A and B are shown apart, each in its own frame.
Chain A
Amino acid sequence: MYNLLPFQFERRHEGVLLTNDIGEYIIISPDDFTKFYLRKLEKKEVYYNLKSKFFLYDQSLDKIIDTIATRFRSRHQFLFERTSLHMFVVTLRCNQQCEYCHASSEDYRKAEQYDMSNAIAKKAVDFAFQTPSPYIKIEFQGGEPLLNFNVIKLIIKYSTEINKIHKKGLDFVICTNLLALTKEHIDFLKKYKVDVSTSLDGSESQHDSFRVDRFRNGTFSRVINNIKIAKKYLDSHKVCALLTVTPKNINSLREVIDLYIDQDFNYIFIRPLHNFGNAYKASSLEYSMQDFINAYKDALKYIIELNVKGVTFPEVYASILLSKILTPFSSGFVDLQSPTGAGLSGIIYDINGDVFIADEGRMLHRTTGDKRFCIGHVSETYQKVMANPFFEEVIRSSVLDATPGCSWCVYKPYCGSNPIKNYFFDGDLVGCPSKSKFCQLHREIFDEIFSFLLESNEKVHDVFWSWVTRSSYKKIAELELLESSEAE
């Protein structure tokens, strides 16, 4: 005689997939599933598997409730730590005018009224350090951040200084097109161990189709050159690139991946186009979500093959999802959390000190004038800004367990919400998963990942674990064990 613990389920061709709120998953045959929910499953291996993964219990509940609660708390550690990612828009000026730019950047030749001032920057740092989080990551965005390097230097120096009191973990990352990179920049970035995140959309023709400078010239060769320089003078692994999928590269992602490996990048992050800013208007940038999904699946397959051959090269989005599926830990990915990561885990300071809960919220303001996702200003107190009532409404509207469609989805424990995107496209913070492209994308990627996981191909599992633990495929596949010197 046993009782059921809460779970979600979905029928697949491999069997019935069950998941629960502490992140466990299990696949069982349809017959076993029927017996299981009728509470008639006999004590055999499947029964024990279900028990040890907390899908059923047969002793008294009070003995296990603490362990279950502890597992749940571990997965939601991000809620206790609160805002760790602080994004600073240091300027709206940009030396490029990429066709799909989501940041709607201003011409860099225009006046510096589009820069964050020193005074605002300092206030924003003071504001950021009031987070309870033991770790802060400061991310510089724009426009093109290098164009206002003085404020970046101020922010880095000032935050390093006040951190001597706060003693938080402190990291910096700059999102830059690298076009304006100088030796002065490199020396400073090296000194303060700043990570560099740039954009590379593929081969010269692919990259230059959309990523052009203000004179409409391609930027590929300059970017490649500066990537090499940056990797040479900073540690190579501190320079990474993001891929924006465009109609020009969507059908040749394999070649783009080869190019990334050639350029000595350690991983790739394949993202669909942000449907904000310029991208929202231009139809030449359109491809269907289904096209993206198909291209992504093929790219993932190719990347896994490369890893099995010994090239440790994760796809970052898949790695994040795998961390959520395979580990009992809280994953620090702001864009896919329930409740939303917007404001709770990541926050963004505009050039004038306005505090937005997410970049999409800031973009919404710039493109439509709707400023509701601004919850305050850096000159206000932290408590006042964080207590903004609309912010609370956003949080309430983004809990998957309370969202129709999501609350019964088998992928609920691993997925997240995006209330701002919902608001932008549907006029509603909660949204409708059945109609949402965001949901379609995640459903299909989860389906694909679970197909790999349920196939029980040891090599693929080894690849996934090498991504999740950030070690090499070889170390796992060939069981390179280290000696424990503490053991007797």
Chain B
Amino acid sequence: MYETTGILYGFKEPVIRKITFDKNEALENHCLCYLQKMSNKVTLTNDAKTEKCEIISSSFELNQGDILLVEPKGKITKIYDVTSKSNSLFITEECNCRCQTCPQPPVITDSLPWAQFAKLIVKLIDNKPKWIGITGGEPTIKWDELIEVLKLIDYYLPDSAIQLLSNSRIFSEFKKAELLSPYCNKLIIGTALFSDVDEIHDAAMGKKGSFWETISGLHNLERFGIPIEIRIVLSSISVKRLPQLAEFIYKNIPFVHHVAFMGFEPIGNGLKNFKKLWIDPLEFNNILLKSVKVLHSRNIKSVLFNLQPCLVDKKLHQILMNSISEWKICYDDECNGCSALNSCGGIFNSAVYYLNKSIKALP
């Protein structure tokens, strides 16, 4: 559970607050200390006692070091979860594309000062995460803030590796790619491709010309030794020419660190375009296997995300990863008694309805 509501006192505007049980640490700004727990109610307060927060929900776990976004209207979001291996810094809701598969609704301007929040969060993190993500919208739109966030991570979290999700269009400008070169040993950029054909990719991205800008950006990133992950969302668009896309990646961006095939999450724009995009994993099983083989025989690693072992060929189970965001998981009734229950990442709760005909417990 990452979101809940609470009764708030003294919060005038949306703020970032770190949870601590350490009264000494609570003396610092931006901290909320655990005051008391009475039956179902958890009360948090800051040191000066000017802010108080009562959370009713029992399933909203709080741990030392968790970081919350507290909005005065009562919404409390866990924006950094110490129990998670995959936290991300949200830089902006704004984007320079309109992907048909986008899980977030498009905006013109940020509703909250996300980049500012991100900078603060970096300073508050204390559990030395192995990985920290940077996402959006399109993070590179807020270029100066992004560079600042990178510098802060480099300083405050020197042992953390960074995964930046970006369409890489901005890196078609050579100098922008150059500015990332100091981080080449700890940064990987995740960029989505929908097709080997420019017009098909552009249509899926909702932006004409984005394909060649992305390719050009990826080439520039390679010139500075910055590792790249290609992300392919498995929709009816990308599946149609999937092996050709795998071959295109090999021929034109052979230096990629790996390719991530991702199950489709039908929320946001993705849900709006559902009819056009949805394809049952059982239907694309063979073509996915073929495409992984195309890459494998050319020495390029693949991984699979957001897919379930029962829907994917056995040979691909060894590269099937658990869901990238633990808070999206749920399991169908069918899953009880499945032998793969422990290794399966579960199903997006947005997708469980569409998959329930195909989900089958493995013997």
On A, residues with C-beta under 8 Å from B are 24, 48-49, 51-52, 58-59, 63-64, 66-67, 70-71, 327-329, 461-462, 465-466, 469, 471, 476, 479, 481-484, 486-488
| Residue numbers in A under 8 Å from B212 (CB-CB) | 59, 63-64, 67
Whether A479 pairs with B216 at a CB distance below 8 angstroms is no
Whether A59 pairs with B252 at a CB distance below 8 angstroms is no
Q: With CB as the reference atom, state the residue of chain B lying closest to A51.
A: B197
Question: Could you tell me the distance between the alpha carbons of A24 and B252 in the complex, rounded to whole angstroms?
Answer: 11
Q: With CB as the reference atom, state the residue of chain B lying closest to A52.
A: B196
Contact A481 to B257, CB < 8 A, known contacts A51-B198, A488-B324: no
Instruction: Quote the shortest CB–CB distance from B79 to chain A (angstroms).
Output: 18
Instruction: Quote the shortest CB–CB distance from A22 to chain B (angstroms).
Output: 8
Q: How many residues of B contact A (CB 8 A)?
A: 42
Q: Which residue from A48, A465, A471, A484 sits with its C-beta under 8 Å from B319?
A: A484
**Which residues of B201-237 are within 8 A (CB) of A?**
209, 212-213, 215-216, 219
Contact A328 to B252, CB < 8 A, known contacts A49-B244, A52-B197, A67-B215: yes
Whether B72 sits at the interface, judged by CB under 8 Å, is no
Of residues B200, B252, B257, B292, which shows the largest number of chain A Cβ atoms within 10 Å of its Cβ?
B252
Whether B241 sits at the interface, judged by CB under 8 Å, is yes
Q: What is the 8 Å Cβ interface bit string for chain B, positions 172-199, against chain A (1 contact, 0 not)?
A: 0000000000000000100000001111
Question: Could you tell me the distance between the alpha carbons of A49 and B247 in the complex, rounded to whole angstroms?
Answer: 11
Whether A59 pairs with B198 at a CB distance below 8 angstroms is yes
Q: Quick check: which of B44-52, B100-108, B145-153, B299-307 contacts chain A, the rest being far away?
A: B299-307
Question: Could you tell me the distance between the alpha carbons of A328 and B302 in the complex, rounded to whole angstroms?
Answer: 20
Instruction: Quote the shortest CB–CB distance from B177 to chain A (angstroms).
Output: 13
Whether B216 pairs with A482 at a CB distance below 8 angstroms is no
| Residue numbers in B under 8 Å from A328 (CB-CB) | 250-252, 254
| Residue numbers in A under 8 Å from B319 (CB-CB) | 481, 483-484
Q: Which residue from A461, A466, A471, A484 sits with its C-beta under 8 Å from B258?
A: A484
Instruction: Quote the shortest CB–CB distance from A40 to chain B (angstroms).
Output: 18
Contact A479 to B296, CB < 8 A, known contacts A63-B209, A70-B219: yes
| Residue numbers in B under 8 Å from A51 (CB-CB) | 197-198
Whether B303 pairs with A487 at a CB distance below 8 angstroms is yes
| Residue numbers in A under 8 Å from B318 (CB-CB) | 481, 483
Whether A67 pairs with B86 at a CB distance below 8 angstroms is no
Question: Could you tell me the distance between the alpha carbons of A479 and B316 in the complex, rounded to whole angstroms?
Answer: 9
| Residue numbers in A under 8 Å from B131 (CB-CB) | 488
| Residue numbers in B under 8 Å from A469 (CB-CB) | 297-299
Contact A48 to B258, CB < 8 A, known contacts A24-B251, A59-B212: no
Whether B312 sits at the interface, judged by CB under 8 Å, is no
Instruction: Quote the shortest CB–CB distance from B228 to chain A (angstroms).
Output: 12
Whether B257 pairs with A476 at a CB distance below 8 angstroms is no
Whether A48 pairs with B241 at a CB distance below 8 angstroms is yes
Instruction: Quote the shortest CB–CB distance from B138 to chain A (angstroms).
Output: 20
Whether B121 sits at the interface, judged by CB under 8 Å, is no
Question: Could you tell me the distance between the alpha carbons of A70 and B85 in the complex, rounded to whole angstroms?
Answer: 38
Whether B293 sits at the interface, judged by CB under 8 Å, is yes
| Residue numbers in B under 8 Å from A481 (CB-CB) | 292, 296, 301-302, 315-316, 318-319
Question: Could you tell me the distance between the alpha carbons of A69 and B315 in the complex, rounded to whole angstroms?
Answer: 38
Question: Could you tell me the distance between the alpha carbons of A71 and B216 in the complex, rounded to whole angstroms?
Answer: 12
Question: Could you tell me the distance between the alpha carbons of A331 and B8 in the complex, rounded to whole angstroms?
Answer: 67
With A461-B297, A469-B298 given, name 12 new contacts (CB 8 A).
Answer: A24-B251, A48-B196, A48-B200, A52-B248, A58-B199, A63-B212, A64-B212, A66-B216, A71-B252, A465-B297, A479-B292, A484-B301
Question: Could you tell me the distance between the alpha carbons of A329 and B251 in the complex, rounded to whole angstroms?
Answer: 9
Whether B321 sits at the interface, judged by CB under 8 Å, is yes
Question: Could you tell me the distance between the alpha carbons of A465 and B246 in the complex, rounded to whole angstroms?
Answer: 15
**Which residues of B26-40 are within 8 A (CB) of A?**
none
Q: Which residue from B213, B289, B315, B321 sits with its C-beta under 8 Å from A487?
A: B321
Instruction: Quote the shortest CB–CB distance from A470 to chain B (angstroms).
Output: 9
Whether B260 sits at the interface, judged by CB under 8 Å, is yes
Chosen A-B contacts, 7 in total, with CB atoms closer than 8 Å, are: A328-B251, A465-B298, A471-B299, A481-B292, A484-B258, A487-B258, A488-B163
